[in-house]
Amino acid sequence: MSDHQRLIDGFDSGELVRPFAGSTSLIDVVRACAKTCGVEGVPMSNASRAIADHLKRSEHLIFVLADGLGIDFIDRLPRDSWLRRHTRRSIQGTFPPTTPVALTTVATGEYPSSHAITGWWTHLPSLNAPVTVFRNERSTDDVSLDDLGVEFREVCPRDPLMARMTRQVALVMPSNIVDTPFTRYMAGGNACIGYGRHAEAAYAIADRIVQASGPTYTYWYTPYPDTLAHEFGTRDDRVLRSVEDLDVAIGKLIASLRERDVVARIIVTADHGHLDVGGAGHLEVTADDPLLEYLLCPPSGDVRTLYWHVKPGMHHAFKVAFKARFGEWFLLISAADAELEGLFGPERLSDETRVRIGDFICVALGREVLRYTGAPGRERYLAQRSHHSGLSAAEMLVPLIVISTEDAEPPRDLDFARQARRV
């Protein structure tokens, strides 16, 4: 049986989640928010129309992106928590379910098939090497892209949505990333506010909205629970406490807005979930690995979905060698079959995306992870206990949480899936 057929069988059996297959996804939420905030020409699905219809009377809209907050974390929260009580349903993140891919969708309102950010390490043709989008570095040696003469818009070629919004827009970001190239790109010229603790962000958002002279849109990003899940694994109490801390901060935000008679809607969702490493564990392609003899450059992508640029005439040999080494744990899919199955979105691959994903894509079947360890960061990789970027439900499914300051209880008759079917 071919790996392409095994992929389809995994979708059919439910062992793997088929991306963008008609289910509500992160891009629907992003496009609904953009439409609500006055962006013209946003493509809308039935799901995004239903969400936008619910948001259209929201003078103040707050979008909270909690990194790594998979749907599994919600069930572990107390029943009376804000996040659990107001969860409407699970939705899909992007594929691959990893932060640079998802946040570029948030920034642009585009599928990965169009926006061309393909993983933590995205292949950049002009360097013939993977680059780290958030760190703005060539990942093989951590040299700054600025020093290499690469402009950031070469890395992220699509225009940001927030620059087109007609509301007063602000990004509320952790202080250590408030002034990075990606944050500035995403903001599109709008204000960026740094914060330390969740509660600090909540009060900063409330103060900003109260002082605004008109409708607002606030984007709040938190790196939790992702940071702690990588380090300790998903079942560690410290990870859940970080989610509870966010829940408390959202409660403080709501209370602060209510005290000042401000009506607002808060959407909370995530870029991806998490899956603890297991099975064969941490697999490696080393700097002197024989597999590199078949490649034009080191693999890119992430640790559960990787991209392989193969030398001309060596495709069959590479496929045989890869399957002998890693075929027990990873499917190897051609780029053409990945596009056929719509892994990166229902649209055809853009020219930028097509060249960046190379010739083959490998996708994890179980709990294993795989990384090119000839680049800096091997020790950190081997120490991490949980990861994401594969097609499991734990990685792909995230919550859609909608809270109104007008009513602490979620409307019982609101079902975006049912509304979408009626549109």
Give, for 137, the enclosing helix (H) or strand (E): strand 137-138
Do the domains at 3-9+277-387 and 19-275+393-422 have one common CATH topology? no
3-state secondary structure of 53: helix
The predicted pLDDT at position 217 comes to 98
Which pLDDT does position 412 carry in this prediction? 41
Whether 222 and 66 have beta carbons less than 8 Å apart is answered as: yes
Q: At what angle do helices 198-211 and 237-259 cross, to 10 degrees?
A: 20
The amino acid present at 46, given as its one-letter code, is: N
Spatial distance between the Cα atoms of 64 and 226, rounded to a whole number of angstroms:
14
What is the mean pLDDT of each successive set of 10 residues along the chain, which is 423 residues long? 97 97 94 98 96 94 98 95 96 98 98 98 98 97 98 97 98 98 98 98 98 97 98 98 98 96 97 98 97 98 98 98 98 98 97 98 98 96 98 98 78 40 27
What's the pLDDT score for residue 22? 85
Q: How much is the pLDDT for 421?
A: 30
H-helix segments, 14-91: 26-36, 46-55, 71-74, 82-85
Beta carbons of 188 and 235 less than 8 angstroms apart: no
Backbone angles phi, psi at 401, to 5 degrees: -120, 125
CATH code: domain 3-9+277-387 is: 3.30.1360.180
Q: Where are the domains of the chain?
A: 3-9+277-387, 19-275+393-422
Helix (H) or strand (E) run with residue 178 in it? none
CATH superfamily, domain at 19-275+393-422: Alkaline Phosphatase, subunit A (3.40.720.10)
Alpha helices in 119-197, H assignment, sequence order: 152-155, 181-187
pLDDT of residue 327: 98
pLDDT score at 411:
44
> What are 162's two structure tokens?
């927030």
CA neighbor of 384 nearest in space, from 223, 235, 228, 279: 228
3-class secondary structure per residue, 108-128: HCCCHHHHCCCCCEEEECCCC
Which candidate, 279, 271, 273, places its Cα nearest to that of 364? Answer: 279
